[in-house]
Structure 1
Amino acid sequence: MLNPRRIDAVLTGGSAGLSRRAFVTTTVGGAVGLALLPGAVTAQGAPAKPGTKPTEQPLAFVTIAKDGTTTILCNRMDMGQGIETGLAMICAEELDADWSKVRTGFGDQRGEYVDPLFGMHLTGGSNSVKNSYLQYRELGARTKAMLVAAAAQAWGVPAASLTTENGVIAGVGKSAGYGEFFDAAMKLPVPEAVTLKDPKSFKRIGQPTTLVVAKDKSTGAQAYGMDVQLPGMAVAVIQRPPVFNGKIAKLDVAEAMKVKGVKAVLPVTLDRGGQGVAVVASGYWAAKKGRDALKVDWDLGGVAKADTAALTQQYLALAKTPGTPAPKPEFQADVSGWSKAPKKITADFVFPYLNHAQMEPLACTVDLKADRCDVYYAAQMPGLDAMALAKTVGLKPEQVQIHVQMAGGGFGRRATPTSEWPREAAAVAVALAQAGQRMPVKVIWSREDDLKSGYYRPMTVHRAEIGFDATGKVAGWQHRIVSQSILKGSPLEGFGYQKGVDGTTTEGMRDPYAIPMHLSVHHPEVNVPVLWWRSVGATHTAYVMETLVDEIAFATKQDPVAYRIKLMDGNAKADRHRAALQAAVDKSGYGKRKLKPGQAWGVALHESFESVVAYVVVASMKGKGNARQPVLQEVHAGVHCNLCINPRAVEAQVQGAALMALGTTMPTHHVTFKDGVVEQNNFYDMAMPRITDAPKVMTVSIVPSNDPPKGMGEPGLPPLAPALANAVARLTGKRQRELPFSFA
């Protein structure tokens, strides 16, 4: 069934125009145009007046029924991070809505739902609350102002004489619920300027709030992209080549067509130019059995075959040579003094390819008609996807309607710049139509499909050469990173690929520590598709920085907390880092209590997406010899995300991110290649953290602030693994230079 909470907004119409931030690129996977639409402009090119931009239209976001039920649409996709509730809280605060009557839903690919700062449809970069905080406050305030104006007209009184509270307008001896005036209010002009509340008067923002969809999720009533059902719908799976970009040499479909329920077997073009075979059937199991019966010979001639062992040696060798200098000035310090320093560390770090492993595998349902295409899936970038899909099915972008669904996890996997998986689903629908079997079709990726044929966090190698003295003062830090570029060649290249360096590779290096660093990068070309993975570059840069800083503290016999604070001296931008670290220290009792024998402290902190998370952990070891493994006993997090909209959601994000990071340290938690083929198949040979791996104690302390909020979907992940590694180093005497951990 379709999600009963998911509704389509009643829109005011009109299209968004291009502004100064907008740009157009003509390649999405080499075929599709992309336009970014941050807001309307006048015919003369001047910026539109406030209240006239698509992103400022109350009717596109808020609907109030006669009984007061208030639906607030989210301009993003929710994959468990809680932004559907968070953005509704922000809007409801200024609207003075009755929270018990608030419901939520999703927007779509139209201009109303672009990120108001980036000007494109995007759920990512922990930007949802950060970039839409002011937008949703103003949407709530504008809606309330229009409701009050409508009531004032109906009652013949000045608007200033009326008050609002809990979804009710009152004054001059009368009162009425918002639903009574909503239709009339939406016919009034949208105010250009509105007065927003003083944060001191907030009633909803800042209060621990259960997600609007929590009950449905916990009872199984919540529907996801995988759950979409349409009348007459077929289900398809795709047989993909064992090596990326392989093509069909010979295909025998006879046995597959004998499987009961199989309707068609169709060759389709895949992402990046490879070929696959779609098996379309009455249901998933029939489609899978039909695919199992296929006989395919693959043409892998001329296709590069990645090999993890060979790549590791290649990357380690590259890391010893100068790369392309990182363009930021702070990465171009004179570090010639490092070799003359009395103490030195030379360290190589190896990070594997990683699968996103979101709980809900990919699924996309396409209902292709002659003049319209409806697409149902959890879309992270529906605007970009809509144009890619239009190109694929041969329609105009305005003939494509994307119905954004709730996602059961994502971690970046659902945001491929090439619109990979929805385009593949559309290609199946087109092939069906061309074969005379036009029908809605849902293309499902199994866990094995995504693990063996998906996108991955890049394999990455770091090399650090550091010189320092007995006080821990760093004389020079020479650093090189070897990693595939995520952005190069994609429609988003202009956002962060500068002077030959992908900014997602270097993000998180150096700051907040005032140390002289020279950083350069190698971006090798490898036949493995790579993509952002929760917290992107910070997944490896935080680990390298925080374990090396800890190692210097240990080598100079300094307390790891005190040493970090010393390195931040003189950096005014580090106030939030110090506050987050102190919050974690205070809660943990670090320095004030004695641990049990066989336990050790571990400390790390990191800023990503403008939020700071610090961890103080307690760990021990279990097992013997090469079978030893760390046990995470306690985790104490200090968080500085500026104004916290929903403390309960922040706590949940930090807890989830910490456990996800714990998984990266566990044996076999990696993706490896042999002769171009992924060696892992499912969770049974790629370790995932289980509830039994969770720490017995986990606390999250949020530093109070009234400054505009920052992101929290990703920042909880980067510092956990280094904090654990630092504890393990104290327990074993060995520094973990590679993920996952190894005790061989």
Structure 2
Amino acid sequence: MTITQNRRNFLASSLGLVVAVSLPLRGRAQSGAALAFQPDGTAAAFEPNAFIRVGEDDLVTVIIKHIEFGQGPMTGLSTLVAEEMDADWSQMRAESAPADDEKYKNLLFGLQGTGGSTAMANSYTQMRKAGAAARAMLVQAAADEWGVDAYTITIANGVLTSGDKTSTFGPLAAKAAMLTPPEDPPVKDPKDFVLIGKDRPKLDSQAKSNGTAVFTMDMDLPGMEYVVIRHAPMLGGTVASYDDAAALAVPGVTAVHQIPQGIAVYATSTYAALTGRNALTVEWDDSVAETRSSDQMMKDLSALATSETGLMIEESGDITSALTGAAQTIEAEFHFPYLAHAPMEPLDAVIEVKDGSAETWGGFQFPGFDKQAVAGTLGLDITKVKLNVMLAGGSFGRRAQPSAQIGSEIGAIAAAAGRDGSWKLIWTREDDLTGGYYRPMTVHKMRGALDADGNITGWHNTVVNQSIMAGGPMEMMMQDGKDPTSYEGSVKMPYDLANLRVDWVRAESKVPVLWWRSVGHSHTAYATEVFLDQLLEAGGKDPVQGRLDLLKSDMTRDRAVLEKVAAMAGWDGQKVKNGKGYGVSLHESFNTYVAQIAEVEDRDGFPHVTKVWCAVDCGVAVNPNVIRAQVEGAIGYGLGSVLFNAITLGEGGVVQEQNFDTYRMLRINEMPAVEVEIIASDADPSGIGEPGTPPVGPAVANAWRALTGTAVTTLPLTTPAGA
């Protein structure tokens, strides 16, 4: 293998590792595709096809297989590589990988994708091995050039040294690329970590702060047209007929086409496209749409909760005898509304069709699905489609779309145009909030039994909601008709409840549903931890000690975070102090253990959260700074949802919330002080993007009940006047 004239060299191993000579990147972290859209058009010297690229300028670029939308994989995965290469942090760069299900697959999914808080968990060993292989190749290259034994060479802060000989990475990159990568290079003992476990600034923060980061919404190709889609106002509705005369009369509107998703308006500007869409006259067919109101749907779910149609998910002991023989029984029914994800950057994508091939750009969370959708819609072989993963302005699950919604739409737009060209699809905030794919509306019907001493002797939970997995590519993950994302967190609880039963009833609706930050845990943690608190209170038990007493003997990590958060908050058994209420919650999700205590005060009848203490055990803390940021963000996100958020369908099934004036977000003056402590651990890293969300709702609700005596079983908690 030789170095080509354009100074490129590829060498791939089973790790997918590449050591190559390249020009430097402009930013510290960016979508690889976005580099071509920097103001001066500077692009990377070559398109990466693996995990690591070393430039002769000493820069180390890590190709990140997980989409970056603020949760930190560019920084976290680059830290793993830098640690094993003994690189200096200042020389690290990150770049998004293009769509390639085989090369960049999530090892826990089997395809390229980000979700379930798995980015670090599935990449921890893989990226460390890739870094170790790159290090070994650089060391061998130096040994060959210097005529010394490899074992005499050390690396620190990106500098190789053997006696009086030194070199940085760049001068050795070309020679290292000629070597055969080691198949299974050893990685460091954790005691030797230099970067892992230390606070580091995120690689993408500077570019996002100064405006040089390129998102899909920033892209502008020569001759590109802007497209918006008029979707049906009722979920599941279709076009019956339309009149586009007024739309075509709008200056700048170039075409109007019906596509499977609605009516697409093409224009020379976003303004013209939106104006043209508003001018359309459309008759809709709601014969297969959801036309029930939210009130009616919730009543239907509540009725299902008492039916005999559920599937038994978990059972131990004899719940029937426990309930009938109890000294006291308590019942509660929890109602959870549909929730939108509402990421700050709504869905968007860009496509260019040219000479029988297509290239697409977007914030694709499962890029393989979207690539297939584009190819299928345009009638192209998959090899004729290139899909670039861009930085994205949030997701919270919205972009993790097995139905390839955005890929299908951008493909349909190009197909309907019937010619070569480029188009940008733009969703507005109104499109985003009314477009479906919500967290499922859910009911939990709870029954608990207590003996004469106040001990819990029975627990029965019936969960009712739609299945997220059914009817799509993920249906294969269901077993015996059961969708674990519907009830996860209500089963395998850490508490020793001798007589327990959990049932799931699958509801049906035309409303499309999707995983929302922490998925099933977002409602199961609330129902189980609030109901448990009620049972402990009825039995005269302390909320913290009562939970500790119930923990199974092997639940050491649960116990550790609960004891830690109690110490952080100075828990003394008083649930009300100085006019403030205090509530606790404990929940494990995505193999991460989290306990929280919330401090709440009453402001004109509305709960105001003043502080949240949080203890978290997520295994090895690769970057504590990112972990704290994710937990703080998760608490804010979860708090907004339990206080304010609900997607409601009115008469005829039309979504009522159109923008942030009615889908109320948490405001800066409502964000509590947050104190986060990370439990030291030598376990492999687990998820951190989602686990901070589930516990905040029950902690707040438990504090509010302690303060006011009001149990909150229907979310959101309440809405203040004039909100």
TM-score, normalised on structure 1? 0.89
Q: Which residue does the alignment assign to 1:678? A: 655
What CA deviation, in whole Å up to 9, does each residue of 1:91-144 have, x standing for no partner? 110011111111111112122211123321110000000110000100100000
Q: Which residue does the alignment assign to 2:639? A: 662
Q: Which residue does the alignment assign to 1:475? A: 457
AA at the equivalent of 1:726: N
Specify which of 109, 117, 123 is matched with residue 118 of structure 1: 109
Specify which of 61, 66, 89 is matched with residue 56 of structure 2: 66
Q: Is the 8 A contact 1:353 1:670 kept in 2?
A: yes
AA at the equivalent of 1:462: H
Specify which of 384, 388, 391 is matched with residue 369 of structure 2: 384
Alignment of 1:363-402 (within 5 A): 363-402=348-387
AA at the equivalent of 1:641: C
Matched residue of 2:642: which SS? coil
Q: Does 1:320 align with 2:306?
A: yes
Q: Which deviates more from structure 2 when the two are superposed, residues 164-173 or residues 90-99? A: 164-173
Matched residue of 1:498: which SS? coil
Q: Does 1:700 align with 2:676?
A: yes
Q: Is the 8 A contact 1:57 1:112 kept in 2?
A: no
Q: Which residue does the alignment assign to 1:533? A: 516
Matched residue of 2:713: which SS? coil
1:333–1:234 Cα change, 3 Å:
farther
Specify which of 193, 198, 202 is matched with residue 202 of structure 1: 193
Q: Is the 8 A contact 2:305 2:463 kept in 1?
A: yes
C-alpha separation in 1, matches of 2:383 and 2:161: 43
AA at the equivalent of 1:716: G
Q: Which residue does the alignment assign to 2:501? A: 518
Q: Which residue does the alignment assign to 1:37? A: none
Q: Does 1:552 align with 2:535?
A: yes
Q: Does 1:283 align with 2:283?
A: no
Q: Which deviates more from structure 2 when the two are superposed, residues 684-693 or residues 171-180? A: 171-180
C-alpha separation in 2, matches of 1:331 and 1:239: 51
C-alpha separation in 1, matches of 2:527 and 2:360: 42
Specify which of 615, 627, 630 is matched with residue 638 of structure 1: 615
Q: Which residue does the alignment assign to 2:281? A: 295
Offset at residue 423 of structure 1 (A): 1.1
Moved over 6 A (4+): 592-595
1:718–1:108 Cα change, 3 Å:
same
What CA deviation, in whole Å up to 9, does each residue of 1:353-407 have, x standing for no partner? 0000111111100111232211100111112221222111111112111111111
Q: Which residue does the alignment assign to 2:95? A: 105
Matched residue of 2:329: which SS? strand
What CA deviation, in whole Å up to 9, does each residue of 1:709-741 have, x standing for no partner? 111000000000000000000111111001101
The number of aligned residues is 682
Matched residue of 1:322: which SS? coil
C-alpha separation in 1, matches of 2:155 and 2:233: 62
Alignment of 1:226-375 (within 5 A): 226-270=217-261, 276-328=262-314, 330=315, 334-375=319-360
- Can you give the 5+ residue segments of structure 1 that lack an aligned partner in the other structure? 1-8, 14-50, 271-275
C-alpha separation in 2, matches of 1:371 and 1:364: 19
1:579–1:669 Cα change, 3 Å:
same
Q: Is the 8 A contact 1:56 1:135 kept in 2?
A: no
Q: Does 1:690 align with 2:647?
A: no
Matched residue of 1:664: which SS? helix
AA at the equivalent of 1:691: I
Q: Is the 8 A contact 1:353 1:456 kept in 2?
A: yes
AA at the equivalent of 1:407: A
C-alpha separation in 2, matches of 1:304 and 1:227: 35
C-alpha separation in 1, matches of 2:649 and 2:611: 31
Q: Which residue does the alignment assign to 2:544? A: 561
Q: Which residue does the alignment assign to 1:423? A: 408
Q: Which residue does the alignment assign to 2:603? A: 622
Q: Does 1:600 align with 2:573?
A: no
C-alpha separation in 2, matches of 1:534 and 1:381: 16
What CA deviation, in whole Å up to 9, does each residue of 1:691-724 have, x standing for no partner? 01111x3100000011111110000000000000
AA at the equivalent of 1:620: E
What CA deviation, in whole Å up to 9, does each residue of 1:642-693 have, x standing for no partner? 1111111111111111111111222454333431211111110111101011
C-alpha separation in 2, matches of 1:190 and 1:687: 53
Q: Which residue does the alignment assign to 1:448? A: 430
Specify which of 118, 125, 133 is matched with residue 124 of structure 2: 133
AA at the equivalent of 2:589: S
Q: Does 1:721 align with 2:697?
A: yes
- Can you give the 5+ residue segments of structure 2 that lack an aligned partner in the other structure? 1-6, 21-49
Offset at residue 320 of structure 1 (A): 0.9
Matched residue of 1:548: which SS? helix
Identity, in percent, stands at: 38
C-alpha separation in 1, matches of 2:651 and 2:183: 60
Matched residue of 1:260: which SS? coil
Offset at residue 345 of structure 1 (A): 0.9
AA at the equivalent of 1:150: A
C-alpha separation in 1, matches of 2:706 and 2:443: 24
Q: Is the 8 A contact 1:360 1:407 kept in 2?
A: yes
Offset at residue 466 of structure 1 (A): 1.1
1:312–1:117 Cα change, 3 Å:
closer
C-alpha separation in 2, matches of 1:471 and 1:83: 50
C-alpha separation in 1, matches of 2:671 and 2:232: 37
Offset at residue 475 of structure 1 (A): 2.1
Q: Which residue does the alignment assign to 2:36? A: none
AA at the equivalent of 1:229: D
C-alpha separation in 1, matches of 2:410 and 2:10: 31
Q: Is the 8 A contact 1:664 1:670 kept in 2?
A: no
AA at the equivalent of 1:401: K
Matched residue of 1:383: which SS? helix
Matched residue of 2:639: which SS? helix
